[in-house]
Amino acid sequence: MVKGVQVHSNVAPKAQGEILTEDALQFLAALHRTFEPTRQALLFAREDVQRQIDSGVPFDFPKETAHIRAEPSWHCAPPAPGLEDRRVEITGPTDRKMVINALNSGAKTFMADFEDSSAPTFSNLINGQVNLRDAIRCQIDFESGGKPYKLSENPAVLIVRPRGWHLDEPRITVDNAPVSGSLFDFALYFYHNAKELIKRGSGPYFYLPKMEHYLEARLWNDVFLFSQSYIKIPVNTIRATVLIETLPAAFQMEEILFELRNHSSGLNCGRWDYIFSFIKKHRADRRAVLPDRKDVTMTVPFMDSYVRLLIQTCHRRKVAAMGGMAAQIPIKGDAKANEIAMNKVRADKLREVTAGHDGTWIAHPLIHQIARDVFDENMLGPNQYHVLRQDVKVAASDLVNPKVPGQITEVGVRENVITTLAYTSAWIGGNGCIPLNFMMEDAATAEIARVQLWQWVKYNARIDTGEHVTVAYVDKLIDELASQTKKVAPGVQDKHVKISADYTKGQIRKEWPSEFLTSDLMPYLAVEDGAPAKFQLSKM
């Protein structure tokens, strides 16, 4: 075993033996010892920023980096092999069936997700690494229920999303401290597959989530430089697309691209997490209370401004400006409802391509053709880098404009309660991606639901019935809807619904909402996997 490294779980012994090899753990330990102090400092810096926002300091573009934004001559790296045309990307967790179906979907790329659509049980994480390793080597074929699953001859290009900087991995410790979830996911995938990917004409490509500052992008860039040197592959082989899904990051898009410029493959509109971040960052501002989740669309002022600025920024620096997720799934047995849903997908993708996006996201293989047709009809080349959007003028005030048409309704409150209960119950049970109301939902939707409930209680919001959203009102709904959770999310266990209900009740009573439900609930997964309590830094 590697000195100072401890593995605190043995839930997937065969997969662990293949992935947690001595040389891979040595690499992970080297990353941890080199970069963990910087990660911790950057997480503390997030808390300082939040305190400033709470005190009334306005959001603005950083003054110290004005020269970077003003300099027109720098550009990001050219598209790496396989990333020249990204008009449709499919996303999903890393279970074996999903990996095969996504790679065979016809989409240009598949974002294999260790983050929001994956519940990070140790088994899910380690077996996910095995599945990606096997897919890269075209050795992933298997049979389930008498049905064969085989990889096509021309699969999608693989991109991997590790967890965000805020998450620990308590089942692996180095020098008696949990490693970063980000570095755990990145290190094992990169170490086992980077050279094989290059040999096959592709490369190690990543999506990077949840960043809040350009210094967090600099940390990733330093990790990339270190890692490429460690395994002796050419510098700047890695490519990374950053999800702009936090409000602070929207004010630092140029800087984030600049920090990663030799490894950058663009930015993506992580729109659901962005709404979550908007609410959370404005926690001390009653003027930023938003209406029902369904009313916060891509056309409301603060969302539209962020999209236009992202496209302009990316094309100015010659990288991809990726659109957001179509979470719809086909509605079987109701042709009219299905047509309405699919028309919403078409309208959303048409909005994106005409705005200048270079590609878009889907969650279900059967949505691929709809999105593909819209982009094929409206984007004749591989991308739209030439669409510079010089017409766009976005001020800091536009990005924080809280004016959203709509109202808070009884239906909206109930939907947020059942969404929070259903998703968190499933997540604790090991499932990070569930269908709700014919939408494939991940942690981002549950996060919006959770913080909206908190916000409405905090500011005593009035709903359409004339009632106020109080602790007692939400408690009553939780008690009522908890009994329906197993119908909404089949397969969840009663004990997990109880944990979820207690957690949600606790959240609406807090002075401020927790940063992430995944951090709060991680101890439940870690306990099941055998991790010692002392390494579980996140508490409910």
Point out the residues that are catalytic.
161, 442
Closest by CA to 242, choosing from 215, 262, 260, 222, is 260
3-state secondary structure of 206: strand
Closest by CA to 400, choosing from 522, 505, 247, 296, is 247
By DSSP bridging, strand 147-149 and strand 88-93 are unpaired
Q: Is residue 91 a contact partner of residue 325, using CB atoms and an 8 Å limit?
A: yes
The rounded distance, in Å, linking the Cα atoms of 414 and 5 is 46
Continuous H helices in 75-202:
96-103, 122-136, 181-199
Burial class (CB in 10 A: 0-12, 13-18, 19+), 178: buried
Q: Which amino acid is at 137?
A: R
Q: Is residue 274 a contact partner of residue 239, using CB atoms and an 8 Å limit?
A: no
- Give, to the nearest 10 degrees, the angle between helix 443-458 and helix 410-428: 130
Distance between alpha carbon 254 and the CA centroid of its chain, in Å?
20
Closest by CA to 202, choosing from 247, 156, 162, is 156
Q: Is residue 320 a contact partner of residue 352, using CB atoms and an 8 Å limit?
A: no
- For the chain, what percentages of helix, strand and coil (3-state, to nearest 5) are there? 50, 15, 35
Two tokens at 97? 């069936």
Q: Is residue 514 a contact partner of residue 507, using CB atoms and an 8 Å limit?
A: yes
Bridge partners of 434, per DSSP, are 441
Two tokens at 501? 């209900």
Q: Which amino acid is at 398?
A: D
Q: Which amino acid is at 168?
A: D
Two tokens at 218? 């600099």
- Cβ neighbours of 214 (radius 10 Å): 23
